[in-house]
Structure 1
Amino acid sequence: MATTKLKIEPPLLNSACPWATTLEDIKALYDSPFTGAVTIRTSLLEGFSHDDSIHQYTFFTPGKTIPSDAPKGEESKPPSSTSNPSEPVSTLNTLGYSPLTLSEYLGIINEIVGQRHLGTDTPTKKPFILSVTGTADEIAMAYALVANAAEMDEDLRLAMEVNLSCPNIASAPPPAYDKKELDEYLEAISDSKSTYRGRMTTPDSTPKVGLKLPPYTYSGQFEMVVDSLRKAKSSEPGEGSVIDFITCTNTLGHSLLLNASLEPVLNSESGSGLGGLAGAALHPLALGNVATFRKLLDKDPMTKGIMIIGVGGVEDKDGAERMRKVGAGAVACASALGRYGVSVFEKITKGN
């Protein structure tokens, strides 16, 4: 069975998040010598109608009262507005997806790699992980766009992460909680990879595909996912699952913050203020998800080669080492990136 799935060296990167939205965001992440890959904020084929009045985020310290006039969105960005920047940071968000389309992100990647061709950028070829979402048919179309881009430029190292885990879209629960829906996505991914595999010059140039998963809380959920991954066999002889990596875990939905006036801190599509919890408060659950998936994946040759990108509450070297200890092949962060900026990757690497 093939063991090379996705190469991320150094094994540190960002996860799909608001701080990986713009050209400037993505280039800063790409230029950092402490990142081994760059994940781009989750996009749709046609873009997402972002509305600052209902798509929001805030930083907070668990267990502490939030002022009634607490800032949110870009205004809440620490550390300058944080009284004690050494405290672990958590985030709550009611965000949707990126306002930029997948095609626009492919253009941004071409611009960044083009600068490297001109000798104005690092010569290192880092993978770009394009996080995408939509229906199963739209995911197949997204893979076609990514594969075509990879075919046209052999210097592009592209992968696609299918986000099946956003908790903030009204009337659209995360598909990764439903086996039937999950299997439909896996079938679409399998068909897409089979179509384009023969057109690539080398196996490594075929865009790898992963799943961004939500948090799971009981054994049957983990077993359901692994069973689907095991049955989604690659068409390539000698390979296992059609999925190359999983990213776990995304934010924990139906979380709520109340301010000093006992009102929701954030607005949301539903008007409830419920959103996705991330950062330090999620770290123990994320560690448990990574550990459980690694143990189950390793039990079967079909799934043993699937890499895990561990994400959830990592903001220092110790946190990254915990993730690696329980089975993450690479470690990603989002809340800490929003808090510290791209320098967080040097902080994690050097233990500063």
Structure 2
Amino acid sequence: MASKLKIDPPLLNSACPWSTTLEDIKALYDSPYTGAVTIRTSLLEGFSHDDSVHQYTFFTPGTTIPANAPKGEDSKPTATASSSSTGADNTSSSADMSSSSSAGPVSTLNTLGYSPLTLSEYLGIINEIVGQRHLGTDTPTKKPFILSVTGTSDEISMVYALIANAAEMDEDLRLAMEVNLSCPNIANAPPPAYDPGQLAEFLEAIGDSKSTYRGRMATPESAPRVGIKLPPYTHISQFEMVVAALKAAKSSEPGESCVVDFLTSTNTLGSSLLLNDALEPVLTSESGTGVGGMAGAALHPLALGNVATFRRLLDRHPETKDLAIIGVGGVEDKAGFDRMRKVGASAVACASALGLYGVDVFERITKGGD
């Protein structure tokens, strides 16, 4: 259906620290095993990242984390050690797969916010990468970029305008917008997707923005697709609330029923905490508690359940049955990819595994290697 975001192969990264820089994004774009590239969540004016507050760590569930354990990239487990960690935003994606693959399933906890780079800076990076295609030096296939964004509903309208203008100016750009309504780490700003009123407000802004730009694009396919990134839900009433909001958000565009084209499910699980062997929080955070969002292998069963439940509920209604789902949460191998596809994911994305294994993880998932 035209309303779905076309990702072929159906494998990509989700918004994360390892899709922050030009180098990160180009490596993801150049991989023959990714069907799209998701840019780290950005704001119109950027985010004030602070390494001493916004952190992440790799950990193995059920193990003790020593006090003063390394954080960030240094926390990646190896064949001889598996520990913890925070890190700077602009980190490299190149982990040694041979040393880390024997560490077993690995999860992450993060207290990160958003990217320090602005949306305009990311549009410039995308233009630079796609511009090199004209020289015949890079991937010949047009690959979609999903710009993960956030802000107020009014700001999201401005964001869509910037992305639509960029797509209108260059027919080689395949752009989509993912509105992140699910980050659990921003103090005094709970994820809007848990609140039906806020969710409806964002959906209305998305619909108005798409209507404004309808007809300006060269072809319907060149218009930026729009999705929303959702948090984990744990009760059927929460899923039904989202589906009801999507049903009510009817599109005014020909051939489309809903104002959004896809869902990304699921973001990190908030209210998660790691204590070290001194019984102190492993990470810092904006709230000062060290509580953050959990992802990776420990999230996988909940993520599968969210995707399966949404697919079942969306398929019941003509207004929502054509929505695609990007399934995210704990996928690090082909078996995990197959499970996500089985429960209804149109495409599968990963973040923690990308941070651990680097871009080679997509070949690992595709070919079923260790």
| Band of TM-score, shorter chain | over 0.9
- 1:139 pairs, out of 150, 156, 159, with 156
User: How far, CA to CA, are the matches of 1:29 and 1:81 in structure 2?
Assistant: 28
* Most deviating of 73-82 and 266-275: 73-82
The answer as to 2:175 corresponding to 1:153 is: no
Return the offset for 1:75: 2.2
Q: Which residue pairs with 2:66 in the alignment?
A: 67
Matches for 1:240-251 after TM superposition, within 5 Å: 240-251=257-268
1:216 and 2:233 equivalent?
yes
Q: What is the rounded CA distance, in whole Å, between the counterparts of 1:80 and 1:92 in structure 2?
A: 21
- The alignment status of 1:119 with 2:136, answered yes or no, reads yes
Count, aligned residues: 351
Alignment pair present for 1:305 and 2:322: yes
The question of whether the paired residues in 2 share the 8 Å contact of 1:210 and 1:246 is answered with yes
Q: Could you tell which deviates more after superposition, 135-144 or 67-76?
A: 67-76
Aligned residues of 1:79 and 1:340 also touching (Cα < 8 A)? no
Helix, strand or coil at the partner of 1:345: helix
Question: What is the match of residue 42 of structure 1?
Answer: 41
Question: Match of 2:15?
Answer: 16
- Cα 1:145–1:3, aligned 2, differ >3 Å: closer, same or farther? closer
SS at 2:286 equivalent: coil
Mapped to 1, the partners of 2:233 and 2:153 lie a distance apart of: 22
Equivalent position of 1:264 in the other structure: 281
Q: Distance in 2 between matches of 1:295 and 1:265?
A: 38
TM-score by length of structure 1 reads 0.98
Report if aligned partners of 1:18, 1:41 keep a CA contact under 8 Å in 2. yes
Match of 2:92 in 1: none
Moved more, 233-242 or 321-330: 233-242
- The letter of the residue matching 1:99 is P
| Amino acid aligned to 2:57 | T
Tell me the residue number matched to 2:208.
191
Partner of 1:288, secondary structure, is: helix
The residue type paired with residue 140 of structure 2 is P
Structure 2: 5+ residue runs without aligned partners? 83-99
Q: Amino acid of the residue matched to residue 35 of structure 2?
A: G
The letter for the 2-side match of 1:55 is: H
What's the counterpart of residue 189 of structure 2? 172
Q: Which runs of 4+ in 1 moved over 3 A?
A: 77-85
After TM superposition, the structure 1 stretch with the greater mean CA deviation from structure 2, 71-80 or 212-221, is 71-80
The residue aligned with 2:94 is none
1:60 Cα offset (Å):
0.2
**AA partner of residue 242 (structure 1):** V
Check conservation: 1:46, 1:101, Cα contact below 8 A: yes
For 1:305, give the aligned amino acid: D
What TM-score comes out, normalization by structure 2 length?
0.93
| Alignment partners' CA distance in 2, 1:62 and 1:25 | 28
User: 2:18, 2:180 → 1: CA distance?
Assistant: 17
- Partner Cα separation in structure 2 for residue 67 and residue 151 of structure 1: 52
For residue 123 of structure 1, give the secondary structure of its aligned residue in structure 2: coil
Q: Which moved more, 1:94-103 or 1:115-124?
A: 115-124
Question: How far did 1:113 drift?
Answer: 0.3
- Identify if the C-alpha distance between structure 1 residues 3 and 116 changes in structure 2 by more than 3 Å, giving closer, same or farther: closer
Q: 2:250 aligns with which of 220, 233, 253?
A: 233
Look up the match of 1:331. 348
Does the C-alpha gap of structure 1 residues 266 and 81 become closer, same or farther in structure 2, counting only changes over 3 Å? farther
Relative to structure 1, is the Cα distance of residues 85 and 350 closer, same or farther in structure 2, using a 3 angstrom cutoff?
closer
Match in the other structure for 1:345: 362
1:201 aligns with 2:188: no
Pick from 297, 313, 327 the counterpart of residue 296 of structure 1.
313
Shift of 1:5: 1.4
Correspondence list, 1:30-109, <5 A:
30-79=29-78, 82-83=81-82, 85-86=101-102, 87-109=104-126
CA shift for structure 1 position 78: 4.3
Contact 1:3 1:305 in 2 (8 A): no
Cα deviation, residue 74, structure 1? 2.6
Q: CA deviation at 1:73?
A: 1.6
Q: Is the 8 A contact 2:2 2:221 kept in 1?
A: no
Q: Which letter does structure 2 place at the counterpart of 1:9? A: D
2:143 is matched by which residue type in structure 1? Answer: K
Q: Is the 8 A contact 2:3 2:323 kept in 1?
A: no
Gap regions ≥5 residues in structure 1 = none
**How far does residue 80 in structure 1 lie from its aligned partner after superposition?**
7.2
**Is the contact between residue 42 and residue 97 of structure 1 (CA under 8 Å) also seen in structure 2?**
yes
The Cα of 1:122 is off from its aligned counterpart by: 1.1
Please give the alpha-carbon distance, in whole angstroms, between the structure 1 residues aligned to 2:255 and 2:121.
Answer: 35
CA deviation after TM superposition for structure 1 residue 67, in Å: 1.0
Matched position secondary structure for 2:109: strand
Q: Could you say what the CA RMSD is over the residues aligned between the two structures, in angstroms?
A: 1.1
For 1:220 and 1:81, how far apart are their aligned partners in 2?
45
3-state SS of 2:178 partner = strand
Contact 2:3–2:225 (Cα < 8 Å) also in 1: no
